[in-house]
């Protein structure tokens, strides 16, 4: 075999997996179709280190987020990756929302997140004097991270561990062969190149379902739906009126968690993202200026100082969802596909939030899958 392990996709999860596996195995390749890492979902998000509050009990999202949060904070400290443990407020702006945030607290406690504090208005004012809320949940372990710096560190450690990263090469075909797989890639010189690998890890994000289909797995439950989220920025000087993350109560079935306030390492403040399933899987990163009214009205509920002209379009991202509109919340799909007849093929599909937070924990999970279910010959 040309490679022992081939990872497809150099987003934050693929990079974390590459770093972990190159520390334990030889002959590991990471293939990425873009010229560099993190060009899709990993670079177009809120950069939040999530606490693990909302997810279904015992789900992979809950378990890996809670574990990943701890691992990520430790990693950032070890490698000087910029982060800020700023905390988050989930606010109830009406009487009807108060029971919802109490329910969220119970869900969080079931997930092992036991540090949430229910705040009264005067306590809220002590933390964030410029927001409005009747009650709020304070999550002290939520934070933000510089996702580019994080991915760069994953990349650097992968290379230092002896891993091979190949950019500008798109996987176009995968065939099952004895003891492994035959992979064809198309590079930036418009040439095709094929090689063999014992193990494939599909971490292709928005196209992970297509990669899975290449090997022969056709499962309607694993179809990726492009779900667009747009952000508006809060213009100076009012960006200085908020110093923590501020979230409304989440949408029904967790399709999204509402237009919320996030801060970044440079002191900027964003509102968003909203939730819009795209009719076709097109890479639509256009900002919609006409959404300004909706963003303004949504955020005004808990940012009373906000005026219409205080915000402007910032960016858009796309979530790789397997949850269909109106369906119950979906979990991460992380599976070694030996039961389908494809031993050594590991699928990671539907890796949306909290994928960034969970990245190191996901890498450990994949490493355990290899150690427990696959023998490298």
Question: pLDDT tens digits, residue range 118-175?
Answer: 999 999 999 999 999 999 999 999 999 999 999 999 999 999 999 999 999 999 999 9
State the DSSP string of 64-102: HHHHHHHHHHHHHHHHT--EE---EEEEE-SGGGHHHHH
* CA atoms 314, 66, 246, 130: torsion sign: negative
Architecture of domain 88-140+225-321: 2-Layer Sandwich (3.30)
pLDDT over threshold 90, residue 64: yes
pLDDT over threshold 70, residue 272: yes
Distance CA 326, CA 282 (A): 21
- Grouping H, G, I as helix, E, B as strand and the rest as coil, residue 181 is strand
pLDDT over threshold 80, residue 251: no
Per the CATH hierarchy, to which homologous superfamily does domain 3-44+148-223+329-373 belong?
Answer: FAD/NAD(P)-binding domain (3.50.50.60)
Question: pLDDT tens digits, residue range 36-49?
Answer: 999 999 999 999 99
Beta strands 333-336 and 345-349 are antiparallel
Tracing tokens 């747009």 back to the chain, one arrives at 230
Question: pLDDT tens digits, residue range 284-310?
Answer: 999 999 999 999 999 999 999 999 999
Question: pLDDT tens digits, residue range 53-63?
Answer: 999 999 999 99
Distance CA 10, CA 142 (A): 25
pLDDT over threshold 50, residue 377: no
- Grouping H, G, I as helix, E, B as strand and the rest as coil, residue 205 is helix
- pLDDT confidence tier of residue 257, bands split at 50, 70 and 90: low
* H/E run at residue 197: strand 192-202
pLDDT over threshold 80, residue 376: no
Buried b / exposed e over 277-304, threshold 16 CB at 10 Å, is eeeebeeeeeebeebbeebbebbbbbbe
Q: Enumerate residues 6+ apart whose C-beta is below 8 A from 370.
A: 5, 21, 25, 199, 336, 346, 376
Nearest 5°: phi and psi at 263?
A: -110, 160
- Domain locations in the chain as residue ranges: 3-44+148-223+329-373, 88-140+225-321
Mean of the pLDDT values across residues 336-357? 97
Tracing tokens 């599976």 back to the chain, one arrives at 335
Computed over every residue of the chain, the mean pLDDT equals 95
Mean of the pLDDT values across residues 179-183? 97
Distance CA 193, CA 168 (A): 12
Question: pLDDT tens digits, residue range 312-326?
Answer: 999 999 999 999 998
Q: Enumerate residues 6+ apart whose C-beta is below 8 A from 176.
A: 182, 215, 216, 341, 342
Would you give the DSSP letter of residue 350?
S
Question: pLDDT value at position 259?
Answer: 86
């Amino acid at each position: 075999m040309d490679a022992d392990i081939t990872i497809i996709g150099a987003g934050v999860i693929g990079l974390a997996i590459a770093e972990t596996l190159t520390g334990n195995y030889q002959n590991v390749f990471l293939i990425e179709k873009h010229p560099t890492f993190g060009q899709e979902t990993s670079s177009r998000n809120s950069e939040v280190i999530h606490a693990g509050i909302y997810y279904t009990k015992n789900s992979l999202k809950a378990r890996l987020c809670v574990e990943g949060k701890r691992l990520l904070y430790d990693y950032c400290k070890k490698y000087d990756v910029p982060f800020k443990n700023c905390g988050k407020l989930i606010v109830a702006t009406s009487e009807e929302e108060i029971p919802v945030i109490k329910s969220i607290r119970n869900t969080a406690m079931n997930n092992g997140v036991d540090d949430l504090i229910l705040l009264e208005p005067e306590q809220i004012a002590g933390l964030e004097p410029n927001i409005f809320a009747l009650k709020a949940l304070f999550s002290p372990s939520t934070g933000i991270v510089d996702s580019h710096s994080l991915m760069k560190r994953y990349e650097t450690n992968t290379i230092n561990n002896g891993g091979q990263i190949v950019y500008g090469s798109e996987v176009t075909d995968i065939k099952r062969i004895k003891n492994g797989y035959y992979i064809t890639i198309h590079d930036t010189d418009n040439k095709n190149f094929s090689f063999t690998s014992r193990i494939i890890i599909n971490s292709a994000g928005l196209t992970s379902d297509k990669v899975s289909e290449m090997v022969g797995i056709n499962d309607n439950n694993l179809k990726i739906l492009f779900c667009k989220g747009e952000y508006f920025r809060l213009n100076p000087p009012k960006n200085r009126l908020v110093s923590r993350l501020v979230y409304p109560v989440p949408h029904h079935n967790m399709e999204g968690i509402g237009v919320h306030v996030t801060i970044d390492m440079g002191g900027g403040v964003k509102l968003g993202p909203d939730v819009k399933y795209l009719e076709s899987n097109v890479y639509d990163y256009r900002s919609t200026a006409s959404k300004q009214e909706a963003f303004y009205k949504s955020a005004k509920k808990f940012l009373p100082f906000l005026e219409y002209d205080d915000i402007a379009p910032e960016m858009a991202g796309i979530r790789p969802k397997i949850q269909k509109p109106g369906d119950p919340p979906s979990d991460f799909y992380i599976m070694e596909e030996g039961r389908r007849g494809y031993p050594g093929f590991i699928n990671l599909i539907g890796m949306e939030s909290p994928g960034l937070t969970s990245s190191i924990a996901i890498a450990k999970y994949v490493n355990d899958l290899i150690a427990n279910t696959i023998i490298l010959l």
